[in-house]
Chains A and B, each alone.
Chain A
Amino acid sequence: MGYKCLAKDKFSELVEKFTKEQDVFAPIAQGLEVKWSLIDDPSKILFDFKNTSMSPKGLFFPQTECLFEFNNNKDAEDAFILKETSPLVKKRTLLNIRPCDARAFSILDKVFMKDEDSLDVYWKDKRDKTILIGLACTNPCSTCFCTQVNSSPFGEDGLDVLMIDLGDKVVLKDVTDKGEEILKGLEDASDEDIKKVEELKKEAESKINANLSMDNILSREVLEVYEDPFWDRLYETCLNCGACTFYCPTCHCFDIQDETKGDYGRRVRNWDTCMSWLFTQHASGHNPRGTKKHRVRQRFMHKFKYMPIKLDGDIGCVGCGRCIQVCPVNIDVRDVIKNMNK
């Protein structure tokens, strides 16, 4: 355990060490957007960016994922017999992931890998084979509020290594054993560097001024929050699109479909969204979340009330602010939190 240090011009060498045996993903600039991409040229890796437009959840929970295939010819010997899809062949490293997004993965681990009986093998395979090297936020967005939801611009939860950009060099801190292994052989950071890291951390945290509190949400009765009259106004302008949920690093609903074409068949899962009426539509015709109000309320109740109850206090939001930026009608989760916290 401890802080190591690496000159920026040596960073490419570190990355190249990974790319030899692994797939390395990192945020790169594409037009106006910052996107997660497979890296072939380490010089493209960004250090100066806010966050990626889409979260990296798709790298573990792809928007469309084939779960298995089957022969759809009923006369064939192997008719309808499940053919497993192959697990990841190569190990992977995600570089410069932001602490909020890494934390989202540790929250989702509690959902997808809760226990042996409900293990999501697709999620686990990718999680087990991926190393997360985070990049601390020294300059958070105006919409960030990670510090208000148990996270931090320098948060370590979910990461193997946390890096801090000091301009001409990076300071690296191992968080897990895997991380320690990676940093072996690197120079120790100087006391001066470590002091600088502390300063940057304080500065970054002080830039987040959302001023939210969760205390009352957590202590209020479920039904009391559920029946709060503010929902009646909140839902009015929601479009019930999926933008907020698809961008959210912790939203994880999916839909399963069987697709066939001639003799070929496969089962796929696709991202779904609780904002859609179809998500809860029963075959009987009944819909337990039949109105827009039900659906809007569900998204926030799930994150801020049900998840903490089910996941030992973990809130289903890491404060990345993406939903605020993408909502076409400006439904702002910070306002929702304030209302729920009355």
Chain B
Amino acid sequence: MLVEYTKQIQEAAKRLLKEKKVDCVLGYRQGTIPLVDAPYFAYTEEEVDNLIWSSFCTKNLANFLIKRTDRVAVIAQGCVSRSIVGLINENQVKRENVYILGVWSPGMVDRFKVMERVGGREILEAKEEGDKIIVIGEGFEEVIPKKEVLRQNCLTCVHRNAVLYDEFIGEKGEETGGGNRDMVAAPWEKLSIDERWEKFTETFKDCIRCYACRNACPLCYCAECFVDESKPQWCGKTQDEADVYTFHILRAFHCAGRCVDCGACESACPMGIKMRVLTSKIEKDIRQMYDGYEPGMELGAVPPLSVYRPNDPEEFITP
């Protein structure tokens, strides 16, 4: 838990509830197991005492705003605020219904990286102290520099401060995570087609189609997802490779020009599948092909793939 932040968030939340500016405050509560803190709605000042902020807040809270009709204050770091902007632009969330408590994110922890560090042994407790994570299990205690276990998307993040907010909590911090996103966004680009296919199948072979990735994503709000449609049935329901791969490829394309690389999909996956290899490549392509466009940076911006213009770039279309 980041104590100072937690205190400031609780103060702001109490004030907003007391002043009746909002009906509830959306943040995180401490998880019942280590490394997983839980999205949480606080409706009363007492409930605000449960709100925390930590390096284990790995979901995208914007996702929980969709379809709500009450006024919600939401804690949002860079990516989450960008998702909110995206949802406002796509008419899924009303600007006047959200009160954004902007924060700076020091980066969130990838629990699979932590599990790897301790060789898969059961972790009974995880704490954070400054830039270190301390994990404790039966007969071991490991101190891990946070930087070494950050989520990949947090390492290459370039907008760590909220971009849209009604109130900023704490000081603004360094915008970037330090990593070079262009270097890592498309790890397969240099490979031959065969090697790419091999990497692709290796990445997705363990997918159990639980759809946690899809359901954790603030972009996947379609009333009926293409994998659920039956007339026509775009995608089979089985565990056959073709069905599993179709799901992932199509989902990634649906996120083109909209994905803010928040990493919620990867963090939600119980199998530890790194499906961002698809969306981060698309994110890079969009940036490079559409004049540096980055989704969620501006209210009113039009996502590049949602409109057609006769002079759209098309050099990448191979006949």
Interface residues in chain A, defined as those with a beta carbon under 8 Å from any beta carbon in chain B: 29, 32-33, 50, 53-54, 63-64, 139, 141-143, 233, 236-237, 239-243, 246-247, 255, 257, 259, 268, 270, 273, 276, 278, 324-332, 334-335
Contact = CB atoms under 8 A, between A and B. Distances in A.
B238 A64 contact: yes
B137 to A, nearest CB: 9
Contact of B212 (A324, A328, A332): A328
A239 B215 contact: yes
Given A141-B122, A241-B268, A243-B270, 17 more contacts: A32-B116, A53-B270, A63-B208, A63-B239, A237-B40, A237-B41, A239-B268, A242-B208, A246-B210, A268-B237, A268-B238, A273-B210, A328-B267, A328-B269, A329-B59, A330-B38, A334-B32
Interface string B246-279: 0000000000000000000001111010000000
A270 B233 CA distance: 15
A32 B115 contact: yes
Interface of B: 31-33, 36-41, 59, 63-64, 112, 115-116, 120, 122, 124, 138, 208-212, 214-216, 228, 236-240, 267-270, 272
A328 B239 contact: no
A11 B32 CA distance: 39
Contacts of B267: 328
Contacts of B122: 50, 141-142
22 contacts: A32-B115, A32-B116, A32-B272, A64-B240, A141-B122, A236-B64, A237-B38, A237-B39, A237-B64, A241-B211, A242-B210, A243-B212, A243-B268, A268-B237, A273-B210, A276-B228, A324-B33, A326-B270, A328-B59, A328-B268, A328-B269, A335-B32
A243 B272 CA distance: 12
A268 B236 CA distance: 11
Q: Is the interface of B mostly helix, strand, loop or mixed?
A: loop
Given A326-B270, A328-B59, A329-B38, A242 B209 contact: yes
Contacts of A276: 211, 228
Top 10 closest A-B pairs, CB basis?
A330-B38, A328-B268, A326-B270, A241-B212, A239-B215, A64-B238, A242-B210, A64-B239, A237-B39, A330-B31
A241 B236 contact: no
A239 B63 CA distance: 9
A294 B199 CA distance: 40
Nearest to B239: A64
B33 A330 contact: yes
Given A63-B239, A330-B32, A236 B41 contact: yes
B239 to A, nearest CB: 4
Given A236-B64, A239-B268, A326-B270, A257 B237 contact: yes
